[in-house]
A = this chain, B = another copy of it.
Amino acid sequence: MEGVQSTRIGVIMAGGVGERFWPVSRPDRPKQLLPLGPSSRTLLEDTVYRVGGLVDRERLTVITSRELRDPIVASGIPLAHEQIIAEPMRRDTMGAVAWITAHVLGRMGVSPEEAVLAIVPADQYVGDVETFRVDLRTALAAAEQLDALVTVGITPTRPETGYGYIEVADERVEAPGVPGAIRLRPVERFREKPNAETAEEFFASGRYLWNGGMFFWRVSTFMRELRHVDPEIAELIERMAGALSEGDEAQAEQLFSELPKLSVDYALMEHARRVLVVRARFPWDDVGAWDAWRRVVECDGSGNAAYGRPLLIDCEECSVYNEPGQDEMFVAVVGMERVIVAVTHDGLLVAPLDRAQQVREVVRQLADHRNGGGGEG
């Protein structure tokens, strides 16, 4: 594909619900709209800034759910309203990619051969913006020059069971024009979240990378591979693009509703013929729950992560988040170890760090508990 002109389009996927950060996260204010990183900016703002260094600012698109479009506009990211696109309904990450692809094909006036997408999640932590951009430029150049689906794999720092993995093939990829090509390899296969034993094997072998959910491809390459793997979805995208180009939004939405709920990994990447991965080295975290939050912020000398100026006395490795704002609370946590304390003006969670993953279920039980009654006492 060398010699083809490229227009790089940044796509930030911001439709996540992030229930596991309750009570700070809410349906109208999920993880990506919270300042869960080391800065006071939201994860989405940080992502816009990171990706803004890779593509023209006007070529940056945020794709999200209908419910979140207004909160995202209100959150003050430096993009025009039309750069924030809402999916008609939830159809997982493959739905988001299908919808944005239909928009590129049907509305943006860029040919599928010319359009190169860089698709990244809005709700991740990246510890080193410069390295992130260097590694993503390798992925973009590989997508442009090698006619492949490209992803970025994170070099693991621990035998994590909470992430998917990418098994890397041994052979090198010949790509003399791609900067950083020395870290480019074919993907052997994608692996689901492993159990602890398998995670240890993965970590020890050095052949596995964390799947960061980032995708890079020419639209023409993507459509060709998708036609091979799942021709029905490919056809729906083309028909959505046609409807959008004719201004028939209702028809496009009708077609969108026919999409299955699938992840990009499951729907495409695991079955595609030519997938490459860049072995990235920037510090990364998916900030999946309260236990992850403490990994991405600066902790005090006793390993406590704190936000909103709580008073911690004799605490160790605690995560204490006191929502700042008008209704800010006075918070004192005393003599606790490895405990999450998260409080807002109308909600409170206290739980051990090792139960952070169960917060979603807690929220559901809490809704039942409050609706279902039970005596005051």
Contacts and interface: CB of A to CB of B under 8 A. Distances in A.
Interface of A: 22-23, 40, 297-298, 306-309, 311, 313, 322, 324, 327, 329-336, 339, 341, 343, 345-352, 355, 358, 362-363, 365-366, 369-370, 374, 376-377
Given A309-B377, A332-B348, A335-B351, 14 more contacts: A40-B376, A307-B377, A308-B376, A309-B370, A311-B369, A322-B348, A331-B347, A331-B348, A332-B362, A334-B350, A334-B362, A336-B339, A336-B352, A343-B348
Contacts of A329: 345-348
A376 B346 CA distance: 21
A192 to B, nearest CB: 27
Can you list the 10 inter-chain pairs with the closest CB atoms, starting with the nearest? Answer: A334-B351, A311-B369, A331-B348, A330-B347, A333-B350, A311-B366, A335-B352, A332-B362, A332-B366, A332-B349
- Copies of this chain, how many? 2
Contacts of A346: 327, 329-330
A322 to B, nearest CB: 8
Contact of A377 (B40, B333, B363): B40
A22 B311 CA distance: 14
Nearest to A348: B331
A350 B345 contact: no
A361 to B, nearest CB: 9
The main secondary structure of chain A at its interface with chain B is mixed
A17 to B, nearest CB: 17
Contacts of A366: 311, 330, 332
Nearest to A358: B334
5 contacts: A40-B376, A311-B365, A324-B376, A329-B345, A332-B351
A365 B255 CA distance: 61
A369 B309 contact: yes
A333 to B, nearest CB: 5
Contact of A352 (B40, B322, B334): B334
B307 A333 contact: no
Nearest to A354: B335
Nearest to A370: B330
Interface hub of A309, A327, A363 (most chain B Cβ within 10 A): A309
Contacts of A298: 377
Contacts of A23: 330
A215 B322 CA distance: 46
A274 to B, nearest CB: 45
A359 to B, nearest CB: 8
Contacts of A335: 351-352, 355
Contacts of A365: 311, 313, 332
Contacts of A306: 377
Interface hub of A330, A336, A358 (most chain B Cβ within 10 A): A330
Interface hub of A331, A346, A352 (most chain B Cβ within 10 A): A331
Contacts of A350: 332-334, 336, 339, 341, 350
A38 to B, nearest CB: 8
A345 B370 contact: no
A106 to B, nearest CB: 44
